A and B are shown apart, each in its own frame.
Chain A
Amino acid sequence: EDKVVQSPLSLVVHEGDTVTLNCSYEVTNFRSLLWYKQEKKAPTFLFMLTSSGIEKKSGRLSSILDKKELFSILNITATQTGDSAVYLCAVIIQGAQKLVFGQGTRLTINP
């Protein structure tokens, strides 16, 4: 069974801290890994990672994939209250044309 596991499930930090969110996966046929941010509404796309070791970066957010150890991390530096959200990791299954999501990490940034 294809499985995506995120950790921690919940995280509370102070504004300005740096956080690392984890996503590990066990799937039959990996194609790509996606990160989404979900505030009160629909998930919005952050990154898609396909190759190992290549960091994707957008402002204070960055992510990297390790296909040998089957995990990805999402880093957020100098956190702000607007970063408070649920962060979702999903894996695209090659051939099956479907996404398998993790449970999400609820990140709360306190001022």
Chain B
Amino acid sequence: EAQVTQNPRYLITVTGKKLTVTCSQNMNHEYMSWYRQDPGLGLRQIYYSMNVEVTDKGDVPEGYKVSRKEKRNFPLILESPSPNQTSLYFCASSLWTGSYEQYFGPGTRLTVT
């Protein structure tokens, strides 16, 4: 089944404790992206990647890191999480660039206390 998977789905952590949210897609998509969703603000893009080893900042990259060592995986890293990073996070992928329908993962609800 073609899908985007994210892990964990739910995470409660404390300020400053490094964490990684994994994202994997099995559709051989070149483009992958991370979003956060907050009430009243819609979805905001954090980082995106157009191919292996090619990443770029979205609208809200501060406090996040990403890497794209393999085509299928695009982990999101929070080196020192803070409470303002409490949010619902979505990973998405699309066939070529961002100029195409994006398939979303199931979401990761992160709480930083």
A contacts, CB < 8 Å to B: 4, 6, 9, 31-32, 34, 41-45, 48, 88, 90, 92-94, 96-104
Instruction: Decide: B101 and A97 in contact? CB cutoff 8 A.
Output: no
Contact B42 A103 (CB under 8 A): yes
Main secondary structure of the interface of A (DSSP, over half): strand
- CA A98 to CA B61, docked complex, whole Å: 13
Residues of B within 8 A of A (CB): 31, 33, 35, 40-45, 48, 50, 56, 58-59, 90, 97-107
Q: Chain B contacts of A97 at CB under 8 A?
A: 31, 48, 50, 56, 97-99
New A-B pairs, 15, CB < 8 Å, besides A97-B48, A101-B42, A103-B41 = A6-B42, A41-B107, A42-B104, A42-B105, A43-B90, A45-B103, A92-B98, A94-B99, A97-B97, A97-B98, A98-B45, A98-B48, A98-B98, A99-B45, A100-B59
Q: Which residue of A lies closest to B4 (CB)?
A: A42
Distance of A44 Cα from B48 Cα, bound (Å): 19
14 A-B interface contacts by CB (under 8 A):
A42-B107, A43-B104, A45-B101, A90-B43, A97-B31, A97-B56, A97-B98, A97-B99, A98-B59, A99-B102, A101-B35, A101-B42, A103-B40, A103-B41
